[in-house]
Structure 1
Amino acid sequence: MTPPPDPAQDARAEAFLRAHLPPAEVAGTGLRLHLAGPRSGLARLVPAGGTPYWAHAWPGGVALALHLGAHPGTVRGRPVLDLGAGSGIAALAALRAGASRATAVDSDPLAAMAARLNAEANGLPPPRALTLPPDRLAESTAAAPPGATILAGDIFYDAEAARQATAALDAAPPDATILVGDIGRRFLPLDRLEPLAAYPARDLGDPPSAPAREGWVFRWRR
């Protein structure tokens, strides 16, 4: 169960993000995010053993953002659900492209704060935040509104995550459009994916001198 919000703790976390993770533009997307750098000191904010996925621009989310910028009709006028939203980059790209509303789903409560601050940094309305553990991801997709576009960036990162992600995407209403963004991780169920486009993207830890990788956008096959 998600603990109740602590306003004082939330205020400290927001002040930390504003002070130590200044907004930086994600190349090619036109979006600015509060991103971690070498001197951000996130260990002072994130519990021991925690992983601040929301503090980085992951390649699958970047690919989805680039795809929505190139194909805004994919989401224009439609509700959007961003699974494993992290920084909220895909949800924000959808709102900028004309989505009627967006919901950012993540297991980390700090991701909701990051998505809100990132929306503010881009002059966009904040996506609705939904905090759910990974094993309840299917609840959000099953309840997706009619005609929704579901965005899933970087959620096939290990075997268990891939199992949960597959169950969640299969639980979506039949009229939903489902797009998956990924750099080609080994746990991708390629037999369920139809490649749509590839965009230049960098994985976390790639040195600046390394050539860009291909960040793929796929359509989920029922």
Structure 2
Amino acid sequence: MEDRLRDGRGRSLIPAHGDRKNFIKAETAILPVPHAPEIRLHLADEAMALWEKTEEELGAMGLPPPFWAFAWAGGQALARYILDNPDIVAGKRVFDFAAGSGLVGIAAAKAGASNVAASEIDDYAIAAIELNAELNGVQLETAATDITAGKLPEAEVMFCGDVFYEKSMADRITAFLDRLTGRGVPVYIGDPGRSYLPKERLERLATYEIQVIRSLEDSEIKKTSVFKFLS
């Protein structure tokens, strides 16, 4: 994304990290997560307005949606499952893939993980993750990169929330998860039934009724499950 956000002289249009954090603070409210109220996040209540403001802030069009500003159904389900089953992360190195707001990683840290890393390809998401971790009194390492290719992360548990909504992305992620499970890393997925969820590769562990923002979904409540990815 950064290559597209440069002016005519090749200078980056992306605000400095501190400026991104100030923007997030100004355009969101601190709210409890509906299905995991133990955790508070910097959240927006309307997607399109924030999306437009982000594009105005950068002076660029065609940016990805502000996924970092919402508690998505899959992430809420994973957070609830982790908080209710802390033994799956306690004392372990955890990775929150495509972390968005950092909700899942924050839940893992609260549940006793020894180390939590979170990856995102959106610079605003990285800023939001750091803000949200600080808000909840935990530490998360952040990686602003696509980790699906190259060296596997040093993790003992992997979490993926709401990542199977595009076919090309789903295929790439499935191949990445195969590499992880081949190394013996358990992978947990939170998903409300996205189009490209690899259902034949999943073991259902729990199902929740998750409150979401209707303008982002097709209803205000999404039946959302936590799965274990099968090798």
TM range (shorter): 0.7 to 0.9
CA spacing shift, 1:5–1:25, aligned 2, 3 Å: farther
TM-score, with length taken from structure 2: 0.84
Q: Tell me the residue number matched to 1:91.
A: 105
> Residue 150 of structure 2 aligns to a residue in which SS?
helix
Pairwise CA RMSD of aligned residues?
2.6
CA spacing shift, 1:42–1:186, aligned 2, 3 Å: closer
Contact 1:13 1:45 in 2 (8 A): no
Cα offset, 1:38, TM superposition: 3.4
Unaligned runs of 5+ in 1: none
CA spacing shift, 1:198–1:139, aligned 2, 3 Å: farther
Structure 1 stretches of 4+ with a deviation exceeding 3 A read 1-8, 38-42
Q: Is 1:34 aligned with 2:46?
A: no
Q: Tell me the residue number matched to 1:9.
A: 16
Residue of 134, 143, 147 corresponding to 2:153: 143
- Residues 165-214 of structure 1, C-alpha deviation per residue, up to 9 Å, x if partnerless? 10111121522111011001121111110101011213442699x56222
Residue of 183, 189, 196 corresponding to 1:187: 196
Contact 1:149 1:178 in 2 (8 A): yes
Contact 2:207 2:225 in 1 (8 A): yes
Contact 1:65 1:89 in 2 (8 A): yes
CA distance in 2 between partners of 1:195 and 1:144 (Å): 25
CA distance in 2 between partners of 1:154 and 1:81 (Å): 15
Unaligned runs of 5+ in 2: 4-10
Indicate the percent of aligned positions where both proteins have the same amino acid. Answer: 32
Q: Is 1:102 aligned with 2:112?
A: no
> Residue 171 of structure 1 aligns to a residue in which SS?
helix
Q: Tell me the residue number matched to 2:229.
A: 220
TM-score, with length taken from structure 1: 0.87
CA distance in 1 between partners of 2:72 and 2:184 (Å): 28
CA spacing shift, 1:150–1:200, aligned 2, 3 Å: same
CA spacing shift, 1:205–1:49, aligned 2, 3 Å: farther
Equivalenced residue count is: 215
